[in-house]
Structure 1
Amino acid sequence: MNPQVSTPPKSRIAYIGLGLMGLPMSRHLVSLGWDVHGYDVRSEQMDLASAAGVQVHSTPTEAVHGCALVVLNLPTTEAVEAVVFGTHGLIKTMRQPQCIVDFSTISVESGQAFSAKLLAQTGCGWVDAPVSGGPSAAGTGTLTVMAGARADDLPRIQALMRDVAARFTVLGPPGSGLVAKMLNQLMVGCLHAAVTELVVLAEAAGIEADLVPSALAGGHADGVLLQQIYPRMRARDFAPLGYARQLLKDLDMVLAYAKSLQVPTPMASQAQTLYRMLTRLGHAELDTSALLRLYEPGHDRFAPPDLTDVKPIKGDTP
C-alpha cells in the first residue's frame, strides 16, 4: 500500500454477497468497528450475518443507500452484472462519491467493461480486487488482494484494504487485478492436480505418507497448497473451503483469457478437464481438494469421459 495516500476513517459500508468468503469478511469488519450493511440471496446467510452484527436489508439497493463503499463478493460474472446493471441494479441509485470494490473473480473483459460503464453513467469508481487466501484469511484480515484501479479511487479504499489484507498490490488500471487473479488460479488449478498425484503416489509407496509435507518443507516443492491441501486429502476432508465448481469456473475463464491472447496453457487445460470430470461425477459442492475422488477406487477415473450429453455451463469456454 502507498503510505503517501491519505486514508478515510472507517465508515458505513455495503456488503453484497455474504457467502463462503463474504460472511467471515463482513464479520471481521464489524469486529473492527465498520458499520456494515449487507445483503445475500439466501436467507440463512442473512441470518448468520445479522447474528454477527451486520445490518441486513431486503434488497441490495437498500443495503447500498448511504454507504461510501459498496463491496461485492459474488460467485459469477453474471451475478455481478445482475446486481449492478440488472432491472433493479445498483447503477440506478449509485452516485458519486460512492465506489464499488469487487472482490469477486470475474472475467477480465467483463471487469473492464463494468468499470467503464459505471463510471460513464454515474461517475462512481470501480476497483477490481479479487482475493486469495480462503475463508480463514477473510475472517482474520490476512487476505492477499490484487487490484486494478484508477488512481482517483485509491484513497477511498485504503482503510478497507488495511483491515482485510495482509498484502495489497495495485497492478494497474481497472481489470489489472483480474489478470493477476487469472494467473493465481492457473497456478492453483495446476498445483491441486500435482498435490493430488503426490498423495496417491505417497500412499501407494507404503511410506509414512503423513510426513511428506514436513519432509518437503523448505525445499523447492514446498508451498502453502502443499501444507494445507495435502493433509486434507490424506484425511479425506472435503468440507468446502472453496467449491470445486468455483475453481472450474475460474479455470474456464483462465483458458478463455489465454486463448484470447493466443497463449498455450496445456497444464491448465488438463486441470480444467479434471475438474470438469469431478463436477460431472456430482462433486461440484465439495472442496477443491476433492479432486482426489477421481483417483479413488470405485471411480472409472481414467476412462475417457463421454461429454457428448453434457450441456455447456453458461460461461464455459467454447
Structure 2
Amino acid sequence: MKVAVIGLGAMGMGAALSCLRAGLATTGCDMRDTARADFAAAGGITAASAGEIADGTDAVLLLVVNAAQTEAALFGPGGCALRLAPGAVIIASATMGPADAKRLAEKAQEAGFLYLDAPVSGGAAKAASGEMTVMASGAASAFAKARPVLDAVASKVWELGDAPGIGATVKVVHQLLAGVHIAVAAEAMALGIRAGADPQQLYDVVTSAAGNSWMFENRMARVLTGDDAPRSAVDIFVKDLGLVAEMARGLNHPVPLASQAQQLFTAASAMGHGRADDGFVIRVWEALTGITLPPKQ
C-alpha cells in the first residue's frame, strides 16, 4: 500500500514513522528540509510539496494545522489530488470545524475519493509509538480502505458514524476541555508560586490528589523544568478554542470558560509566546504578577 503523510510536525513525523514500521510504502511530505532529512534517515521517501508524493498513492494522512492547509494540500495548486489512485482514501486529521469537514468530504467524494473526518489526539509521544487516539466518521468503505494506516498510527480508533463532521465535532469538544484544563493548570501553579508554595512540592501534592488532571501533570512538569519547546504550541489553542467559540455561536450555546481560556492563550501569543509549549500560557501570570518561574534546566 502506498501511503503519504503530509505534515511532518510533532505528530506527523511520529505517524509517518509508525507507517514505515508497519511496512507501508510511505512518503513523508514537508516543506522543511530538516523534517525531510530526518524522515529520509529513517528510510522513508520524502516530498517537499503535496504534489510531489508518489503517483498512485492509495491513502493520504493529513496532519497539518487547519482546514485551509488541508484543502490546499489536497486540491490547491500543487496539491496531491492528481497523484492519488482512483478510490484512494483521504484521512483528514487537522482540527477543524464540522462545517469545513463536511465541505471537504463533499469535495473529495466529487473527485472520486473516499474521505475520513479523522482528527487525532495523543501528542508527539503517542504519535511516535503508534498509539494515537483517532475520532473518525465516514463511510464503512473509507474505514476499510484506511485500516492499514489506522492500525499503524493508533491504539484506539473511535468509529463515530458515517457522516463527515461528527469526528470534527467531537475533536472541537475535546479541545474545549484540553484548553480549559491547560489554562486552569497554569493558573493554579501561578497562584501557588505567588503565595510562596514550593512549585515542585505543589506539583507533587496535586498529582497525588483528587485535583489532578492529565494536563496539569503533563504540562506543569515542563514548567517546572523551564522546557518550553513546543509539543503543542500556545497558538494551537488560540486557533482551537476559536473553533469552539465558532461552533458554539452557531448553536447559540454559551461557552464562558472556553472563551476566557482563549483570551489567556491570545494574551500569551500577543506577548510573543505563541510558539512556546502551551503550558507556558503561565507567562501571562508571570507578566501580570511578577512571579518567578522555575529556570530552564
TM-score by length of 1: 0.85
Give the C-alpha shift of residue 208 in structure 1.
4.3
Q: Is 2:115 aligned against 1:115?
A: no
Give the C-alpha shift of residue 93 in structure 1.
4.5
Distance 1:31 1:101 in 2: 19
**Contact residue 73 and residue 79 of structure 2 kept, 8 A:** yes
**Contact residue 141 and residue 165 of structure 1 kept, 8 A:** yes
Mapping 1:173-212, distance limit 5 Å:
173-212=163-202
SS at match of 2:280: helix
Question: Which residue of structure 2 aligns with residue 106 of structure 1?
Answer: 96
Question: Which residue of structure 2 aligns with residue 131 of structure 1?
Answer: 120
Distance 1:101 1:75 in 2: 14
Distance 1:286 1:154 in 2: 35
SS at match of 2:71: helix
Unaligned runs of 5+ in 1: 1-10, 303-318
Distance 1:95 1:160 in 2: 16
Q: Amino acid of the residue matched to residue 196 of structure 1?
A: A
**Contact residue 229 and residue 277 of structure 2 kept, 8 A:** yes
Question: Which residue of structure 2 aligns with residue 83 of structure 1?
Answer: 73
SS at match of 2:84: coil
SS at match of 1:282: helix
Q: Quick check: 263-272 or 243-252, which moved more?
A: 243-252
Question: Which residue of structure 2 aligns with residue 263 of structure 1?
Answer: 253
Mapping 1:53-72, distance limit 5 Å:
53-72=43-62
Deviations 1:103-138 (A, max 9, x none): 211222111101111102x22111121111111110
Unaligned runs of 5+ in 2: 291-297
Deviations 1:45-96 (A, max 9, x none): 1111111221012432331422211111111221111111212333344343
Measured on the aligned residues, the alpha-carbon RMSD in Å equals: 1.9
Deviations 1:13-70 (A, max 9, x none): 1111112211122122212322111211222211111112210124323314222111
Give the C-alpha shift of residue 102 in structure 1.
1.3
Give the C-alpha shift of residue 165 in structure 1.
1.3
Distance 1:192 1:226 in 2: 7
Deviations 1:267-312 (A, max 9, x none): 000011111111111111111011011111xx2479xxxxxxxxxx
Q: Amino acid of the residue matched to residue 150 of structure 1?
A: A
Question: Which residue of structure 1 aligns with residue 214 of structure 2?
Answer: 224
**Contact residue 74 and residue 81 of structure 2 kept, 8 A:** yes
Q: Quick check: 214-223 or 15-24, which moved more?
A: 214-223
Q: Amino acid of the residue matched to residue 158 of structure 1?
A: R
Deviations 1:189-247 (A, max 9, x none): 11111101111122234344323444344654232112111221222221111111111
**Contact residue 134 and residue 242 of structure 1 kept, 8 A:** yes
SS at match of 2:160: strand
Question: Which residue of structure 2 aligns with residue 155 of structure 1?
Answer: 144
SS at match of 1:98: strand
Distance 1:25 1:95 in 2: 21
Distance 2:220 2:57 in 1: 42
Distance 2:70 2:94 in 1: 8
Aligned pair partner of 1:23 in 13, 16, 20? 13
Q: Amino acid of the residue matched to residue 185 of structure 2?
A: V
**Contact residue 58 and residue 84 of structure 2 kept, 8 A:** no
Q: Percent identity?
A: 28
Aligned residues: 289
Q: Amino acid of the residue matched to residue 171 of structure 1?
A: L
Q: Is 2:236 aligned against 1:239?
A: no
Distance 2:30 2:70 in 1: 12
**Contact residue 53 and residue 83 of structure 2 kept, 8 A:** no
Question: Which residue of structure 1 aligns with residue 158 of structure 2?
Answer: 169
**Contact residue 199 and residue 233 of structure 1 kept, 8 A:** no
Question: Which residue of structure 2 aligns with residue 306 of structure 1?
Answer: none
Provide closer, same or farther for how the CA distance between residues 223 and 147 of structure 1 changes in structure 2, counting only shifts above 3 A.
same
TM-score by length of 2: 0.91
Q: Amino acid of the residue matched to residue 292 of structure 1?
A: I
Distance 1:106 1:64 in 2: 27
